[in-house]
């Protein structure tokens, strides 16, 4: 039988991975933001260029950010569940 992992052990074990995931999330969000800004800047003089930037923003948000967000939320939910199980119930009043 496997030893039950504590919330502290879990958070410490995945700390480095979460920092990478969150950093990539921020990086890809910034890429989407930059592509949106480029689209806004070029839409009147070069609609084709604006469309390319919007497609790049869509890819960053729909693929990379979506995957990173889901992975980060999975880790946060697991850590929260472990902490919730370890903390005393407030119903002891």
What does the pLDDT read at residue 89?
84
Asked whether residue 20 carries a pLDDT value surpassing 60, the answer given is yes
How many distinct structural domains can be found in the chain?
Answer: 1
In a domain, 36, yes or no: no
**Residue found under tokens 């939320």:** 73
Q: Quick count: other Cβ atoms within 10 Å of Cβ 57?
A: 20
In a domain, 18, yes or no: no
What does the pLDDT read at residue 91?
64
Q: How far apart are CA 77 and CA 17, in angstroms?
A: 15
What tokens does 40 get?
A: 């806004």
In a domain, 88, yes or no: no
In a domain, 39, yes or no: no
Non-local (6+) Cβ contacts of 53 within 8 A are: 35, 36, 38, 39, 42
What does the pLDDT read at residue 90?
74
Q: Which domain holds residue 70?
A: 47-82
Give 92's pLDDT tier (boundaries 50, 70, 90). low
Look up the pTM and report it: 0.80
Asked whether residue 21 carries a pLDDT value surpassing 80, the answer given is yes
In a domain, 28, yes or no: no
Q: Rounded mean pLDDT of 29-42? A: 98
Instruction: Give me the DSSP letters along 10-44.
Output: HHHHHHHHHHHHHHHHHHHHHHHHHHHHHHHHHTT
Q: Which residue has the higher pLDDT, 90 or 38?
A: 38
């Amino acid at each position: 039988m496997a030893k039950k992992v504590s919330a502290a052990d879990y958070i410490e074990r995945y700390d480095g991975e979460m920092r990478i995931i969150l950093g990539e999330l921020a990086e890809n969000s910034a890429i989407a933001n930059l592509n949106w800004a480029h689209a806004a800047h070029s839409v009147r003089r070069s609609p084709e260029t604006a469309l390319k930037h919007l497609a790049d923003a869509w890819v960053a948000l729909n693929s990379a950010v979506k995957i990173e967000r889901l992975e980060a939320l999975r880790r946060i939910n697991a850590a929260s569940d472990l902490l919730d199980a370890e903390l005393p119930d407030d119903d002891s009043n």
